[in-house]
Amino acid sequence: MTPDSFFDYLKDRDTISKEIYKKSSHHKDYGRFPRVNLPPAQELNVSISGAIQLRESIREYLDKSVSLQQISNLLFWSAGFSGKKIEGGAKRSYPSGGAKYPIEIYICVMKEGDIQRGVYHYDDLNHRLTRLLPVDTDKLTENIIGKDVFAQKCGIMILFSYRKSRSFGKYGSVAYKLALIESGTICQNMYLISPLVGLGCCALGGVQKGVEELLCCDEDESVIYKMAIGNI
């Protein structure tokens, strides 16, 4: 099995001092990098039972780019800012241990359409994307796909990362378990939303070494999960 950098990090972490992880912001910002404003998310008039019945892992996609509106709908309803303020930040559309919200979302656009091919960070507070210009898209794509050959035909890949400083100070080593649960909750939201906006998705657990370096992440951040998404 391919080594996973996240679990490499977990080795011997039970005794690590919480003092090295001070309270940090719930919002990550990339300063002057180019931004792409997402259109307002559209209402989804489907029952919960109907959405659950449509939930399925899809590994075959049309040779078509994912539109900006589809990305907006998917991100807002799965992981967006609900509009309610809470202590230290903003409430999202999913639960988070202690309302720390340590998960960050990156979108690798593989088929160019409404949006240029490249790698973007989702700014949930402002519902927009920030393009990460230093990132080598081709190298990152090759790295995150790995042996999942079917993902080469998807429109976008979504990466979930965990920022340790947001939750480790409160929960210690339990924070890692909570981060995995939280990313799974967002993933399930995406499974439910995807077919409602014409998309299919498939969650992928393996994350190859080197992804964090390619994303220009600091040592506080580990990529823990990924999803392939495309038109169906």
What would the pLDDT profile of 165-181 be if each residue is shown by its tens digit?
999 989 998 999 999 99
Average pLDDT, rounded, for the chain? 86
User: CB–CB of 181/171 below 8 Å?
Assistant: no
Predicted TM-score (pTM) of this structure: 0.85
Who wins on pLDDT, 58 or 33? 58
Q: How many CB atoms lie within 10 A of CB 113?
A: 15
User: CB–CB of 122/106 below 8 Å?
Assistant: yes
Query: Would you place residue 21 in the very low, low, confident or very high pLDDT band (cuts 50, 70, 90)?
Result: very low
Query: Would you place residue 19 in the very low, low, confident or very high pLDDT band (cuts 50, 70, 90)?
Result: very low
User: CB–CB of 93/48 below 8 Å?
Assistant: no
- Alpha helix (H) ranges present in 87-219? 137-145, 168-171, 174-193, 211-214
Q: How far apart are CA 162 and CA 13, in angstroms?
A: 15
CB under 8 A, 24+ apart: contacts of 174-179: 175/97, 175/102, 176/10, 176/13, 178/96, 178/97, 179/102, 179/103, 179/224
When mean pLDDT is compared across 48-57, 64-73, 87-96, 174-183, the lowest value belongs to: 87-96
Query: Would you place residue 188 in the very low, low, confident or very high pLDDT band (cuts 50, 70, 90)?
Result: very high
CA dist list (Å): 193 to 39, 51, 60, 103, 190: 17, 7, 17, 19, 5
Q: How far apart are CA 212 and CA 67, in angstroms?
A: 26
pLDDT at 76 over 90: yes
